[in-house]
Amino acid sequence: MKAHAQNLSSLSTYSVVVSGNFSTNSDVEGRTLVGGNLTGTNSANFATQLGGTVDTTDLTLRVGGNISSGNPIQLNAGSLEIGGSTNGRIINYNGGGSQISNPSANYSAIIDELTLASEILSTYGANSNVIIPAEQPSAFKFDAVPDENGLAVFYVDGSDLFSNSYVQQIELIANGATDIIINVSGSTINWQYGNLVGLFTDEYWQSRIVWNFYEAETIDFGSKNMMGQVLAPNASVTTANPIDGSIFAAELTANSEIHLPGYAGSMIPEPTTALLGLVGGLVLLARRKRA
């Protein structure tokens, strides 16, 4: 089944996956994985909704590089894995965890897997429709036409949605879909107009909608509340309002909270030797194309 041709399981495990640096002075409700450095000098809170659900040795905050100096960090459940230095910053282990130094920390398998997932999802043919307001202010509508497996796939130009002054609100008509993929084109995304309403505000759908910004290099969600799972493997993402769902990005600056839920859709295949070989080959091929 096409819906099982990639693996989004890391968006189930982590609220934040960043291949580069993550800057925040706010909260992350679930687990966090940072390939580069964790920055931001004011207090930040991690694993705020995992208390009593994870073991003290669970690595709920993983940082491959360094943590910048600043006010104390609150880790509310589990432990910190760090490849570099904390620069003397105080980490309060409110859930009884500890610091685990791992100079060889390498998260490339997770990062490559999610990057590949974005590439594969971007090749899916659209089977569902968008209604774009063009002459007068109205709703931008995602009208799902799911396949026999419940998968609805949309394609939208980022400027038609996020920079369209006619968009008043953004709605989803599910029509029996169980998984939603929204492929968004455009190298620069600047969310200026419209708010997500209706089904987008429901936690069930937030865990099953995947926004795939497969071309984006810069994304600014501004003061808008993003809802759903976000794939932006090559983008520097900035947000000043919460994200209700997990996010994978190249860089992330969050001046607001990253909320649960994580991904709960059907695109989590059982790994096999053949699949792992295919994944490795496609990632290598993608890298060669970008070189």
The per-residue pLDDT for range 193-242, each reduced to its tens digit, is: 999 999 999 999 999 999 999 999 999 999 999 999 999 999 999 999 99
What pLDDT does 145 receive?
98
Question: Do 18 and 44 form a contact (C-beta atoms < 8 A)?
Answer: no
Q: Please write down the HEC assignment for all residues of 138-184.
A: EEEEEECCCCCCCEEEEEEEHHHHHCCCCEEEEEEECCCCCEEEEEE
What pLDDT does 268 receive?
76
What pLDDT does 267 receive?
85
Question: Do 144 and 199 form a contact (C-beta atoms < 8 A)?
Answer: no
Structure tokens belonging to residue 98: 């500890």
Distance CA 193, CA 226 (A): 12
What pLDDT does 270 receive?
52
Residue 241, burial from CB neighbour count under 10 angstroms (0-12, 13-18, 19+): middle
What pLDDT does 277 receive?
47
Task: Tell me the average pLDDT of the chain.
Answer: 92
Distance CA 110, CA 164 (A): 35
Tens place of pLDDT per residue across the chain (291 aa):
454 456 999 999 999 999 999 999 999 999 999 999 999 999 999 999 999 999 999 999 999 999 999 999 999 999 999 999 999 999 999 999 999 999 999 999 999 999 999 999 999 999 999 999 998 999 999 999 999 999 999 999 999 999 999 999 999 999 999 999 999 999 999 999 999 999 999 999 999 999 999 999 999 999 999 999 999 999 999 999 999 999 999 999 999 999 999 999 998 765 444 344 444 444 444 444 344
What pLDDT does 135 receive?
87
The Cβ of residue 132 has, within 10 Å, a number of other Cβ atoms equal to 15
Residue in 260, 223, 219 with CA at minimum distance from that of residue 241? 223
Spatial neighbors of 234 by CB under 8 A, at least 6 apart, are 215, 216, 217, 250
**Beta-bridge partners for 271:** none
Distance CA 165, CA 214 (A): 23
Looking at residue 84, the DSSP 8-state letter turns out to be S
What is the H or E stretch that residue 112 is in?
Answer: helix 108-121
